[in-house]
Amino acid sequence: MVRYVYDFADGGRDMADLLGGKGANLAEMTRLGLPVPPGFTVTTEACRAFLATGAEPQGMAEEVTRHLTALETAAGRELGRPDDPLLLSVRSGARFSMPGMMETVLDIGLTDASVPGLAKVSGSERFAWDSYRRLLQMFGSTVMGVDAALFEEAITRLKEAREAPDDVHLEAADLQGLVETYKRVIRDETGQDFPQSPAEQLRLAILAVFRSWNGERARLYRRREHIPDDLGTAVTVQRMVFGNLGADSGSGVAFTRDPATGRPGLYGDYLANAQGEDVVAGIRNAVPLAELERLDPRSYRRLRDHAQTLERHYRDLCDIEFTIERGTLWMLQTRVGKRTAEAAFAIAAELVEEGLITPDESLARVGGEGLARLMFPRFDTSATGEPLAHGIPASPGAAVGAVVFDSAEAVRRAGAGEDVILVRQETTPDDLPGMVAAQAVLTSRGGKTSHAAVVARGMGKVCVCGAEELSVDTGARRFTTRDGTVVEEGTTVSVDGSAGAVYPGAVPLVASAAMRYLETGEQTDGIVTAVARALSRADSVRRLEVRANADTPEDAARARRFGAQGIGLCRTEHMFLGERRRLVEEMILARTDSARDRALAALLPLQRQDFTGILAAMDGLPVTIRLLDPPLHEFLPDRTELAVRVASAEAAGRRPDPHDVELLDAVSRMHEENPMLGLRGVRLGLVVPGLVAMQVRAIAEAVVERVRAGGSPEAEIMVPLVGAVEELRIEREEVERVLAEVSKESGVAVHCPVGTMIELPRAALTAGRIAGEAQFFSFGTNDLTQTTWGFSRDDVEAAFFSAYLDKGVFATSPFETIDRDGVGRLVRIAVEEGRAARPDLKIGVCGEHGGDPDSVHFFHGAGLDYVSCSPFRVPVARLEAGRAAL
């Protein structure tokens, strides 16, 4: 028989697949002996069965009843008993944390009949009515589908009528009236009454949590975080403890370290006389935990001890939700906490120092995307005046954009290409689309553990929260600063998530400390030391080499400073641009061999000079130079432009410029419907006489020049877009011929390995034969993705990729992360057959995928020798190559 329900005492943290993260960690805390209110968890398996069939799985209801009875027996009272009701929370919890995305219903079991009983045992009428109105509100919206705003409006109207600044100032009689209002709202909206049977409440709440897995918010979040849609959520049922029983009660959120900086020490927010939802929702402003130390030192000390127990046990930063009921501390949740990139590096280094984790574990806990974030520029505030406002630095980084005041506007403007800053009093899960669209989130309320802060950190989005000096008027679409400055929607501001400040206008940017370190090796602060350690660990364990894609001596030099071990792709097309266009035109238009040779001869010294500079910058390291790849007509003027020039001259009765006429004729002749699949790559070399010879001669002569200057040039020659081994054989003969010629002329033996790009499916599928002629392979995964999928990248990304992502055809663009099943399969075939034919075949990848963390892990697994990426991604690739080797 399948088991659908587990008591906390029967679970553990390794059971997160079945019990969800929350349920598994509650079980773990129970087993560690921490004070957790007793309860049980209904499994994700039950949820999956329910969502698949629409009916409760067989036996689940009986199991729930059995566990409930055990809970009642232990508590010595029954769910909803009129004179002393046992109350429950019903909580969602998936395998991966999805903060605020699904539903939780508190105070289950309370009914008209048991409110007086609760008032009597608690000694507080107010508390009893407050709990009941909370139940009606949560149950009404979550389980019965009433628009949550209707409840919000009712309580706001009541507070206004009573002139109560917040809900703590509402009295028992007010809340009793509110209960009547809420019941009426439920009846009007659903045609049904709020159920007065505690058992029925429980059953419906469990099913509603199951259903919330497929809610719109939850689905959007999963898509963004790449969480699979078929996992389901578990449901945790737990005895209620009460933070809203008066001044000696309260709720809070704590981190075992600062999640923004990683600094050690208990960190968090506390709200007296409140249930936990109030803290996260930012309804009232929470106070720092230091305040709890003053209010209730005993509970504070316990919390600190438990935090330490958890951090030592999990060997990582944990976040904690807790509630204090009349001086007794209860632990309601823990998990390994989300953190900023900066904190991730700092904590990973610190825990090694403390002997809690090994250097390899430490490396596993940092990531390339985080490193990339630390490399982003920071604001240069040296010349800016006073900030508009200060707030809490909740998620670091620098963002500039136009302020907007609601999620829909953020989405609309971002869709039109504008950078926006989402400004709210506080955010709720409904603001998620706007937060995704915005460059930064700015709120006037809530602490570092508010919804805005937690979600922004998870996304790596800049966030300043709790900027209390701002008064945000969402309706009028503006905010006002303390000194009365009014900032209207659409105004540009700069948000500094590291310092917690907002500046008017666009503040200029400077290099970050991590970037300065990578450029100069200068270790200025702790975070830079942590980055340096992670990178050096990665370098010592990785098998993949990391090269850079660089076309100029400057880029080559930077890549080298960033740790590149060579150039994996040096494109030569830019060497045909600018002032050299004229020579290229002459070459293309040449009618005689001698005219063409003249043009090529003029290009030769210029190219040689380019190569000499790059080989000097990469002295002693391999430089893979790709022969000319794009179609030649790309170097000619635009056809329409030429046609207009010629036609308007004719219309004006003038004789058109003969050069224009000649060019127009050539461009028309060379026009291609699909240039991507046209006369380019190796095909050019085979049909345009002299082109390859000129390029190879320039390379070989550059090598000679460097050798004579005492250098160690290591040029490699790479032939693009090969589909058949014959193409490569013909081109390679030409290359070898020229190399031999230059060797003979110069007396310097020039040996350049000759290899090919693998960027057509046919090349991958005939790699064994191609390897007979190639000394190395380099996967051009951009073109290989285009040709495997039949996508023209420039056309499809704008046209339908977002629809494909929405419909789940793929989770990320195959141009960002390698498509393992299709393109990746071709890569594996080519590696296997290439190496079988030539065991010492050197294999790399160039193209955007070389700097993408997930793809780097794939290339490691596929047995490549190196990845090559843009210079700025080199540190990212080094780090990820190290992590892949763990």
Per CB under 5 A, the segment of 77-85, 101-109, 137-145, 630-638 that binds Mg ion is 101-109
Does 568 help bind ligand ADP (rule: CB under 6 A)?
Answer: no
Q: Which residues pair with 158 in a beta bridge?
A: none
Instruction: Specify whether 67 is catalytic.
Output: no
Q: Which of 67, 390, 451, 857 is catalytic?
A: 451
Q: In the structure encoding, which two tokens stand for residue 529, read together? A: 């030391």
Are residues 234 and 44 in contact, defined by beta-carbon separation less than 8 angstroms?
yes
**Contact residue for ligand ADP among 45, 277, 293, 854 (CB under 6 A):** 277
Q: In the structure encoding, which two tokens stand for residue 62, read together? A: 């009986």
- Shortest reach from residue 120's CB to ligand ADP, in Å: 20
Kindly state the number of chain residues that form the binding site for ligand ADP, as judged by CB under 6 A.
18
Q: How many CA atoms lie within 13 A of 495 on its CB side?
A: 32
**Contact residue for ligand ADP among 212, 333, 340, 449 (CB under 6 A):** 333
Are residues 413 and 438 in contact, defined by beta-carbon separation less than 8 angstroms?
no
Are residues 82 and 117 in contact, defined by beta-carbon separation less than 8 angstroms?
yes
Are residues 721 and 783 in contact, defined by beta-carbon separation less than 8 angstroms?
yes
Q: In the structure encoding, which two tokens stand for residue 468, read together? A: 């209390």
Q: How far apart are the first and last CA of the chain?
A: 39
Residues between 302 and 331 with contacts to ligand ADP, criterion CB under 6 A = 321, 323
Per CB under 5 A, the segment of 104-112, 153-161, 235-243, 698-706 that binds Mg ion is 104-112
Binds 37: which of Mg ion, ligand ADP, none (CB < 5-8 Å by kind) = ligand ADP
- Shortest reach from residue 332's CB to ligand ADP, in Å: 5
Biggest distance spanned by C-alpha atoms of the chain:
107
Backbone phi and psi for residue 528, each to the nearest 5 degrees, phi listed first: -65, -40
DSSP track, 404-451: ESSHHHHHHHHHTT--EEEEESS--GGGHHHHHHSSEEEESS--TTSH
Q: Which is nearer to Mg ion, 277 or 660 (CB)?
A: 277
Q: Which of 463, 465, 752, 846 is catalytic?
A: 846
- Shortest reach from residue 37's CB to ligand ADP, in Å: 5
**Nearest one of 122, 151, 334, 90 to 242, comparing CA atoms:** 122
Q: Which is nearer to Mg ion, 6 or 322 (CB)?
A: 322
Q: Which is nearer to Mg ion, 40 or 611 (CB)?
A: 40
In whole angstroms, how far apart are CA 733 and each of 259, 686, 689, 830? 60, 11, 14, 23
Query: Judging by beta carbons within 10 Å of its beta carbon (0-12, 13-18, 19+), is residue 676 exposed, middle or buried?
Result: middle
* Residue closest to ligand ADP, measured at CB: 276
Per CB under 5 A, the segment of 2-10, 256-264, 313-321, 843-851 that binds Mg ion is 313-321
Per CB under 5 A, the segment of 100-108, 161-169, 215-223, 717-725 that binds Mg ion is 100-108
> What character string, x for contact with ligand ADP (CB under 6 A) and - otherwise, covers 90-109?
-x--------x---x-x---
Residues between 25 and 84 with contacts to ligand ADP, criterion CB under 6 A = 37
Binds 852: which of Mg ion, ligand ADP, none (CB < 5-8 Å by kind) = none
Binds 241: which of ligand ADP, Mg ion, none (CB < 5-8 Å by kind) = ligand ADP
Kindly state the number of chain residues that form the binding site for Mg ion, as judged by CB under 5 A.
3
Q: Which is nearer to ligand ADP, 306 or 873 (CB)?
A: 306
Q: Which residues pair with 252 in a beta bridge?
A: 270, 322
3-state SS assignment for residue 86: strand
Strands 462-465 and 440-443: parallel
- Shortest reach from residue 274's CB to ligand ADP, in Å: 9
Per CB under 5 A, the segment of 331-339, 354-362, 451-459, 768-776 that binds Mg ion is 331-339
Does 299 help bind ligand ADP (rule: CB under 6 A)?
Answer: no
Binds 844: which of ligand ADP, Mg ion, none (CB < 5-8 Å by kind) = none
Residues between 216 and 255 with contacts to Mg ion, criterion CB under 5 A = none
Are residues 606 and 700 in contact, defined by beta-carbon separation less than 8 angstroms?
no
Report the alpha-carbon distance of residue 653 to residue 104 in Å, rounded. Answer: 80
Residues between 425 and 484 with contacts to Mg ion, criterion CB under 5 A = none
Per CB under 5 A, the segment of 319-327, 669-677, 793-801, 814-822 that binds Mg ion is 319-327
Are residues 739 and 752 in contact, defined by beta-carbon separation less than 8 angstroms?
yes
- Shortest reach from residue 102's CB to ligand ADP, in Å: 7
Q: In the structure encoding, which two tokens stand for residue 750, read together? A: 């020039």
Binds 41: which of ligand ADP, Mg ion, none (CB < 5-8 Å by kind) = none
Does 333 help bind Mg ion (rule: CB under 5 A)?
Answer: yes
- Shortest reach from residue 62's CB to ligand ADP, in Å: 23
> What character string, x for contact with ligand ADP (CB under 6 A) and - otherwise, covers 216-245?
----------------------xxxx----
- Shortest reach from residue 330's CB to ligand ADP, in Å: 7
3-state SS assignment for residue 100: coil
Binds 778: which of ligand ADP, Mg ion, none (CB < 5-8 Å by kind) = none
**Nearest one of 786, 775, 773 to 847, comparing CA atoms:** 786
- Shortest reach from residue 317's CB to ligand ADP, in Å: 17
Q: In the structure encoding, which two tokens stand for residue 231, read together? A: 């996992």
Q: Which is nearer to ligand ADP, 319 or 731 (CB)?
A: 319
- Shortest reach from residue 106's CB to ligand ADP, in Å: 6
Report the alpha-carbon distance of residue 380 to residue 505 in Å, rounded. Answer: 13
Q: How many CA atoms lie within 13 A of 641 on its CB side?
A: 4
**Contact residue for Mg ion among 104, 233, 261, 443 (CB under 5 A):** 104
* Residue closest to Mg ion, measured at CB: 104
626 assigned ligand-binding residue: yes
Q: Which is nearer to ligand ADP, 80 or 563 (CB)?
A: 80
Report the alpha-carbon distance of residue 420 to residue 402 in Å, rounded. Answer: 5
Strands 287-288 and 420-424: unpaired
Does 332 help bind ligand ADP (rule: CB under 6 A)?
Answer: yes
Instruction: Specify whether 451 is catalytic.
Output: yes
Tell me, what DSSP letter sits at residue 13? G
Q: In the structure encoding, which two tokens stand for residue 138, read together? A: 């949560």
759 assigned ligand-binding residue: yes
- Shortest reach from residue 92's CB to Mg ion, in Å: 7
Per CB under 6 A, the segment of 272-280, 548-556, 561-569, 772-780 that binds ligand ADP is 272-280
In whole angstroms, how far apart are CA 214 and each of 3, 208, 432? 23, 10, 16
Sign of CA dihedral 806, 807, 810, 816: negative
571 assigned ligand-binding residue: yes
782 assigned ligand-binding residue: yes
Q: Which is nearer to Mg ion, 319 or 716 (CB)?
A: 319
3-state SS assignment for residue 832: helix
Q: Which is nearer to ligand ADP, 429 or 566 (CB)?
A: 429
Neighbour order of strands in the sheet with 250-257: 287-288, 264-272, 250-257, 318-325, 328-336
Query: Judging by beta carbons within 10 Å of its beta carbon (0-12, 13-18, 19+), is residue 841 exposed, middle or buried?
Result: buried
DSSP track, 481-536: -TT--EEETT-EEEEETTTTEEEES---EE--HHHHHHHH----SHHHHHHHHHHH
781 assigned ligand-binding residue: yes
Per CB under 5 A, the segment of 316-324, 424-432, 619-627, 644-652 that binds Mg ion is 316-324
- Shortest reach from residue 276's CB to Mg ion, in Å: 7
Binding site residue list for substrate: 571, 626, 759, 780-783
The residues assigned a catalytic role are 451, 846
Contact residues toward Mg ion (CB under 5 A) are: 104, 321, 333
Binding site residue list for Mg(2+): 759, 783
Binding site residue list: 571, 626, 759, 780-783
Contact residues toward ligand ADP (CB under 6 A) are: 37, 89, 91, 100, 104, 106, 238-241, 251, 275-277, 321, 323, 332-333
